[in-house]
Amino acid sequence: DGGITQSPKYLFRKEGQNVTLSCEQNLNHDAMYWYRQDPGQGLRLIYYSQIVNDFQKGDIAEGYSVSREKKESFPLTVTSAQKNPTAFYLCASQRTSYGYTFGSGTRLTVV
- The distance of closest approach from Cβ of residue 102 to another protein in the complex, given in angstroms and rounded to an integer, is 4
Our finding on whether 61 is near another protein (CB under 8 A) is no
User: Cα–Cα distance between 73 and 27 in angstroms, integer?
Assistant: 11
Q: Which is nearer to another protein, 6 or 82 (CB)?
A: 6
Provide the residue type at 11 as one letter: L
Are 4 and 27 spatial neighbours (Cβ–Cβ below 8 Å)? yes
Least distance CB 109 / another protein (angstroms): 14
Burial classification of residue 61, based on how many CB atoms lie within 10 Å of its CB (0-12 exposed, 13-18 middle, 19 or more buried):
middle
Which residues are CB-contacts of 16 (< 8 A; sequence separation ≥ 6)?
Answer: 80
What is the spatial distance between Cα 3 and Cα 6, in angstroms, rounded to a whole number? 10
Among 78, 94, 108, 110, binds another protein (CB under 8 A): 94
Tell me: does residue 26 bind another protein (CB under 8 A).
Answer: no
Q: How far is the CB of 90 from another protein (least distance, A)?
A: 6
Contact positions toward another protein, by CB under 8 A?
6, 31, 33, 40-43, 45, 48, 50, 90, 92, 94, 96-97, 99-105, 107
